[in-house]
Amino acid sequence: MESFDFNITNENGLHTRPGALLVKACKVFSSSVTVTKGERTVNAKSLMKLMGLGICKNDQILVVVEGDDEAEAIVYLHGFLAELKG
């Protein structure tokens, strides 16, 4: 299992469009991916669950990846979130 904390810098947080892009990015990997905000943890491969977290700009999230391709996934997802716009 690998994880990283990330501060959301996207101006609109993870609303529908960037949330859908994150879900799509997570689905590339066979590993399970979860996102935690506060006390709630959800499957990052589900847009509805991810949207339920209400992630806004400056929110701190925890991304946890577990599985066969976790090392590759963790690097990719960290870079993806860092570059996320709009």
Q: What is the pTM of this model?
A: 0.95
Catalytic residues: 15
Contact 42, 49 (CB under 8 A): yes
SS3 sequence of the chain: CEEEEEECCCCCCCCHHHHHHHHHHHHCCCCEEEEEECCEEEECCCHHHHHCCCCCCCCEEEEEEECCCHHHHHHHHHHHHHHCCC
| Mean pLDDT of the region 7-19 | 91
What pLDDT score was predicted for residue 86?
A: 57
**pLDDT tens across 33-72, in order?**
999 999 999 999 999 999 999 999 999 999 999 999 999 9
**CATH superfamily entry for domain 2-83:** HPr-like (3.30.1340.10)
